[in-house]
Amino acid sequence: MPSTARLPEELTEEYARTLDQADELAPFRERFAIPQRNGTPVVYLCGHSLGLMPKDAPAAIAQELDAWARLGVEGHFHAPRPWFSYHREVSAALAELLGALPHEVVAMNSLTVNLHLLLASFYQPRGQRRKILLEHFPFPSDLYVAQTHVRWHGLDPQDVLELLAPRPGEATLRTEDTCRRIEELGEELALVFMSGVHYYTGQRFDVEAITAAAHRAGALAGFDLAHAIGNVELRLHDWEVDFAAWCSYKYLNSGPGGVGGIFVHERHGLDPGRFRLGGWWGTPESVRFQLLEEFSPAPGAEGWQLSNAPILPLAVHRVALRLFQEAGPERLYRKRERLTAYAQRWIDYVRSRLPAAPLRVITPPPPERGAQLSLLVERDGGKLYSALQEANIVVDWREPNVIRLAPVPLYNSFADLYRFGQALLQAAHVLWG
């Protein structure tokens, strides 16, 4: 068993606690329900998959149930927060996290559904401009969305979809290679469709540079921000990103299957000629109940809405986003950097103590990462994952050989990372010592 005495000073438990005492965001941890095992809180490092529940969530849902019980249908206009316009309760907070104008965002549906709606508008192959460029190893849903849109247009995904590949021996993409490929595809390229932070490697892509390259090629650029929103700085409006979608159950802590959202740059959102699939909730409020015979969209992202909004998940989303507003993005991202560096420091230390351990962080260093670290384990990865689970460290395992972990600044502490580091060290001793 490795002894604590030999730890470098900054990795001791005392030092971690000192860092927590000096952390101005530390009180936010109390505002979340931390899962427990045998009466002890786990070390929850899985916010990249499902964020924790804000303790305000049950009351937020209860408030809407109460309005429903008291008011019935009248709640649409007379609930304390009328349901008719409830989605706007979250627009300002989302816009701040995305670097967007409030009318460029709307909370609605779920992520894959939204990606389909957006590709219906933004993948319009014409002549030889038909190709879609995706990152390597895209999240399956993104790939399936792209494949099925291509087929819908009567084209063959084999001819039209291109997946970027890292250089031989490298795990992540280089921005210059991505931009060069975009330039080479030139007039054949219709759409760059990538994520903001890669779900598997944790690499944060240079959304600004990639969007600019796509535009220079005459193509559009849209992003799946599932792992980016609430995690990394975004300035979608200024970067002129064409469209984006995300889910709210990861870093936004808005509950399993929580309501997703879309960004549509105002250049498209205010263009009535831009095709969008229609539903009554996408029409301007002033005419929505006139049930007109022809679909005419509301200006902005709201024109992509189809159905009336899911109030109960939105209620959770509202209180979850309020915590981001209270914490403020600068403090949040600053703490993210420090926590993630601390987790990396522990992994580096374990590797230095056990050089035979087949462990390697494949996530690039800042600025090309957010909170997530992807630990590639060449052998016995499943055993390492189980050992961490047994030590009450909640991370996740992604086939074929990666353990993902994300220290989340709103609720993780330096003491959490001390517990993680100790568990990793002990498991590595058992497996490879």
Ligand X SMILES: Cc1ncc(COP(=O)(O)O)c(C=O)c1O
> Nearer to ligand X by C-beta: 139 or 420?
139
Binding segment toward ligand X, per CB under 6 A, in 105-113, 119-127, 288-296, 396-404: 105-113
- String of contacts with ligand X for each residue 158-197, x by CB under 6 A: -------------------------------------x--
Least distance between ligand X and beta carbon 226 (Å): 4
Q: Kindly tell me which of 283 and 372 has the beta carbon lying closer to ligand X.
A: 372
Residue 163 — φ and ψ, nearest 5°? -105, 125
Q: Least CB distance from residue 18 to ligand X, whole Å?
A: 35
Report the 10 Å Cβ neighbour count for 6: 8
Q: Which residue in the set 89, 135, 224, 368 belongs to the binding site for ligand X (CB under 6 A)?
A: 224
228 near ligand X (CB under 6 A): no
Say what the alpha-carbon torsion angle 217, 147, 171, 374 is, to the nearest 10 degrees: 120
Among 79, 89, 110, 393, binds ligand X (CB under 6 A): 110
Q: Any contact of residue 135 with ligand X (CB under 6 A)? A: no
Closest chain position to ligand X (CB): 112
Q: Considering only residues 42, 111, 146, 320, which one is a binding residue for ligand X as defined by CB under 6 A?
A: 111
The nearer residue to ligand X, 141 or 175, going by C-beta atoms, is: 141
Q: Of 73, 75, 46, 52, nearest to 63 (Cα)?
A: 75
Which of positions 231-250 make contact with ligand X (CB under 6 A)? 247
Strand bridging mode 131-134 / 189-195: parallel
75/196 with CB nearer ligand X: 196
Q: Can you tell me which of 32, 139, 239, 251 binds ligand X, judged by CB under 6 A? A: 139
Among 63, 85, 124, 141, binds ligand X (CB under 6 A): 141
Looking at residue 302, the DSSP 8-state letter turns out to be G
Q: How far is the CB of 183 from ligand X (least distance, A)?
A: 26
Pairing of β 105-107 and β 261-264: antiparallel
**Angstrom distance (rounded) from CA 408 to CA 52:** 10
Question: Are 168 and 215 in contact, with CB atoms under 8 Å apart?
Answer: no
Under the criterion CB under 6 A, does residue 199 sit at the interface with ligand X?
Answer: yes
User: At its nearest, how many Å lie between ligand X and the CB of residue 56?
Assistant: 23
323-346 residues labelled b (16+ CB within 10 A) or e (exposed): bbeebebeebbebbeebbebbbeb
Task: Output the CA torsion sign for 38, 44, 48, 50.
Answer: positive
Cβ pair 114, 245 in contact under 8 A: yes
Distances (CA, A) of 296 to 104, 191, 257, 273: 18, 26, 30, 10
CA distance 74 to 68: 8
Stretch that binds ligand X, among 224-232, 292-300, 335-343, 392-400 (CB under 6 A): 224-232
Residue type, 208: E
State how far the Cα of 263 lies from the Cα of 243, in Å rounded to an integer. 5
Q: Please state the closest distance from residue 139 (CB atom) to ligand X, in A.
A: 4
Size of interface with ligand X, in residues (CB under 6 A): 12
Name the site residues for ligand X (rule: CB under 6 A): 110-112, 139, 141-142, 195, 199, 224, 226-227, 247
